[in-house]
Chain A
């Protein structure tokens, strides 16, 4: 059962054709990884799943992206879409406020007023993001005082607090040390029980370790998309093989 299905997606930045005829199915409650060299369009595709590309001037998109069968570019409220499809950025970007307020920010803005309910949601989100034990005694401290890895997990908690269905992760560990990275990877494996995860990564081992499906991108095209085991053990395309064996990229 696919959660998101992308068909005939073309994306242009002014004169640059960043995505060419992309067709992908993203299965529900699994981790789908996008790999490929820099500038291959994997982040661009990720951002078109919650329409963050709309912010970029001169960005034109054709084709369809269906979320549970609904076209996200036609007739769906953009804020509702982003509420359903959460995002974690490459660089941890907690707001300059307390840890509690960071997580409560989403629910509050979406209309949750009750203190009890908010406390509950904040705790659940922080627990789900595997950071509750580290921060429960300093919820009122500024989030910017945390380490990079903690900040990233806080950002995941913040995204979880609005109860999304899909979680997009744009190279979530590229700014982190190995220990923080492995914690985020464990967390992703835990989260896929409840959420559909799409992850862009530069790190092929990471994709091999945690993802269920992998798509290999090159110059704006999907070269190969398959079960992760298949793609890494017997790639069908020569270019995929060259990339995963480290011959380029």
Chain B
């Protein structure tokens, strides 16, 4: 009897989380899609002018902004993350590992607003000194996001590398191949699917990041012209204007959220696809 009751509790808990996802989906699409239709899906997605006061709602600059900043984060964060994971799994002495591992886990736990603040007081002035200009823009946001995705990339990659059977490594060593080469040319390639999954999770994290990006990206709703040009991401667009937007403007922001949601959906689907192939 008691067990039966507990079963219902578990079922209810499971249902609530599913319900939450379903409700979010429903809310987003019910509110966002009509606006996209009103504006015209083409106008909305590839329009380059975002001027709510003139009833111009083109989010192309924000889509491009999100993609640029995420790509930048990948270019900076992924090689560093994979190398770090390789170091942790095959080169790091035990004592050092006990210090580095918790530090990386801590990195994952730092609130994004703190990252943003760090970016604002350290990275932005640094960029100003190095390259002139305002110091805010694609490069600064990419660097900051690159650091923010490190724990995700490192964690998943390290687990994948450690899951590679020792027999590959030993097989390579037995051919007279050095430790370094054995790790990089047999172990790492064998872990590539898991590593790739880590990269995709990192992309998801980068594209959804809001607070930290707002503080260092400049946020101009224009098509970026270079590495140092200010950029506004999809998330930034929503959070900056939601407070005062009304009517179509408000619905256009919800439409932006729909686009973002679709992006995240694609990323998560490809992640679970890769995961399945891994087994």
Contact = CB atoms under 8 A, between A and B. Distances in A.
Contact of A82 (B165, B168, B173): B173
Nearest to B186: A95
A89 B186 CA distance: 16
Contact of A83 (B165, B175, B186): B175
B189 A96 contact: yes
A86 B170 CA distance: 12
Interface string A91-124: 1011111000000011001100000000000000
B174 A109 contact: no
A155 interface: yes
Interface in B135-166: 165
A52 interface: yes
Nearest to A161: B175
B168 A106 contact: no
A162 B176 CA distance: 8
Nearest to B173: A82
B187 to A, nearest CB: 10
Nearest to A54: B173
Nearest to B169: A55
A93 B174 CA distance: 11
Interface stretch (B70-78, B103-111, B177-185): B177-185
B172 interface: yes
Contacts of A162: 175-176
Nearest to B178: A79
B56 interface: no
A209 to B, nearest CB: 25
A96 B190 CA distance: 6
Contacts of B178: 79
B173 A89 contact: no
Contacts of A86: 174-175
Interface size class of B (residues with CB under 8 A): 10 to 19
Contacts of A105: 172, 175, 177, 185-186
B176 A93 contact: no
A158 interface: yes
A190 B246 CA distance: 85
Nearest to A57: B94
Given A89-B167, A109-B185, A95 B172 contact: yes
Contacts of B190: 95-96
Contacts of B165: 93
Contacts of B176: 79-84, 106, 110, 162
Contacts of A89: 167, 170-171, 174
A81 B175 CA distance: 9
Given A105-B185, A109-B185, A93 B168 contact: yes
Interface of A: 50, 52, 55, 79-84, 86-87, 89, 91, 93-97, 105-106, 109-110, 155, 158-159, 162
26 contacts: A52-B173, A55-B173, A79-B176, A81-B176, A82-B173, A82-B175, A83-B175, A84-B176, A86-B174, A87-B174, A89-B174, A93-B170, A93-B171, A95-B186, A96-B168, A96-B189, A97-B189, A105-B175, A105-B186, A106-B175, A109-B175, A109-B177, A109-B185, A158-B171, A158-B175, A162-B176
Question: Top 4 closest A-B pairs, CB basis?
Answer: A83-B176, A93-B167, A82-B176, A87-B174
